[in-house]
Amino acid sequence: MVAFDQGALTTHLPSGNHDEAIAAIDGLPPAGGTSLGEAILAALTTIVGHAVSLPDPDSEAPPPNLGYWGSATIVLLSDGEDTSGPDASGPPPELAADAGVHIDTIGIGTVDGATVTVDGFQVATALDEDLLTQIAQTTTGSYHRAVDAQALDSVYKSLDLRITTKPELVELTGVAVGAALLLLTVGGILMVSWYGRIL
């Protein structure tokens, strides 16, 4: 889990312990500023296991090669406003796409906008669906709208995280019989060629 405002910080490493994840979410304080680009870079850092950063925009250095992580999905929950850090419509999602990482975005809030109070300050915010859609499309992910808690729960259940496991019995008798017949046939051919008959 990555928490972000003007910067981003991994607050909980991937695990199967839902209680720990919920506790980490409950402990998040509200803060000002939003950097979706930093959030994506921090999520990529968690996925690849080492720090991920973009080269200086004034340099001609190529973006870092993260390898291929086709089984990874970032779920980005935001109102879509991007107020600081690297441009979230450019290099960060492109870096994720190059690494095979999908980003599914979930938009919260209202397109008309609202005023919220954070640390005693009033902040105007509005849902930027265009930006969230662009981020998702860059990585062949998808955008979802969550108008309330019930809708958010439905969105979570519909997300395709691409990693699913289930036990399944596979019948191998046919393969074993086929392999045995092949070996017997090869053995028979060799005996005929060596001894002129099957012993």
pLDDT tens, residue by residue, 153-195: 888 777 766 555 556 666 667 777 777 888 888 777 777 777 7
d(CA 22, CA 4): 16
What's the pLDDT tens digit per position in 73-123? 999 988 877 878 888 888 899 999 999 999 999 988 777 776 666 666 666
Q: Is the domain of 50 the same as that of 70?
A: yes
Q: What burial letters (b/e) apply to 161-188, b meaning 16+ CB within 10 Å?
A: eeeeeeeeeeeeeeeeeeeeeeeeeeee
Q: Is the domain of 56 the same as that of 128?
A: yes
Q: Is the domain of 91 the same as that of 113?
A: yes
Bridge partners (DSSP) of residue 75 are 104
Q: Is the domain of 78 the same as that of 175?
A: no
Q: Is the domain of 125 the same as that of 180?
A: no
Q: Domain range for residue 185?
A: 167-199
Q: Is the domain of 98 the same as that of 188?
A: no
Domain count, the chain: 2
Q: Compute and round to an integer the Cα radius of gyration of the chain.
A: 26
**Would you say the pTM of this structure is higher than 0.85?**
no
Q: Do 143 and 105 meet the contact criterion of CB atoms below 8 Å apart?
A: yes
Q: Is the domain of 152 the same as that of 66?
A: yes
